[in-house]
Amino acid sequence: MNINEAIATLKENGHKYTDKRRDMIALLQDSNKYINAKMIQQEMNKKYPGISFDTVYRNLHLFTELNIIESTEFDGEKKFRLSCSTHHHHHFICESCGETQVVHHCPIDIFQTELPDVEIKRHKIELYGICEKCKK
């Protein structure tokens, strides 16, 4: 997902284009990690003094509903990142710096073999650890 695709998704679903929304999406695009709503609000406040946490959170909720962004629970709080692609994959998340890396291998066949009588509708696998840079 990029800024233009995100804006098109907003418009296709009947939502207004605003500079604030574009700038929030750009901030998420420029970050290669999950970031929390407070961090987004603080960055947005530099260009839009007084922007409320509620405004930021409402837009994050909308972006999540429209699959513009992904969310995860990390370090005891909800964090967000721009949806990185339309193909199925998982993420490695560094517990030190928060940087994410795409993991293309999916072990769903193993789970389906171990649970032959269930229908798995969806799944999300996140691996947590320390990235190469932080290990040094």
DSSP state of 68: S
Element containing residue 88 per DSSP (H, E): none
Statement to judge: residues 14 and 57 lie in one domain? yes
What is the per-residue pLDDT for 118? 92
Statement to judge: residues 77 and 23 lie in one domain? yes
Q: pTM (2 decimals)?
A: 0.76
What is the per-residue pLDDT for 85? 64
- What average pLDDT does range 11-24 have in this prediction? 95
Supply the range of the domain harboring residue 115: 90-135
Q: Count other Cβ atoms within 10 Å, centred on residue 30.
A: 10
Statement to judge: residues 55 and 97 lie in one domain? no
Statement to judge: residues 9 and 49 lie in one domain? yes
Question: How high is the mean pLDDT of the chain?
Answer: 90
- Which domain CATH number covers 56? 1.10.10.10
Residue 118 bridge partners (DSSP): none
- What average pLDDT does range 83-111 have in this prediction? 85
Statement to judge: residues 12 and 69 lie in one domain? yes
Distance of CA 34 to the CA centre of its chain: 6
Where does the pLDDT of residue 130 fall: very low under 50, low under 70, confident under 90, or very high at 90 and above? very high
What is the per-residue pLDDT for 2? 87
pLDDT at 86 over 70: no
Statement to judge: residues 62 and 99 lie in one domain? no
Where does the pLDDT of residue 27 fall: very low under 50, low under 70, confident under 90, or very high at 90 and above? very high
- What average pLDDT does range 95-110 have in this prediction? 87
What is the per-residue pLDDT for 72? 87
Statement to judge: residues 8 and 75 lie in one domain? yes
Q: In the chain, how many domains are there?
A: 2
Structure confidence by residue, pLDDT tens digits, 28-71: 999 878 899 999 999 999 999 999 999 999 999 999 999 899 88
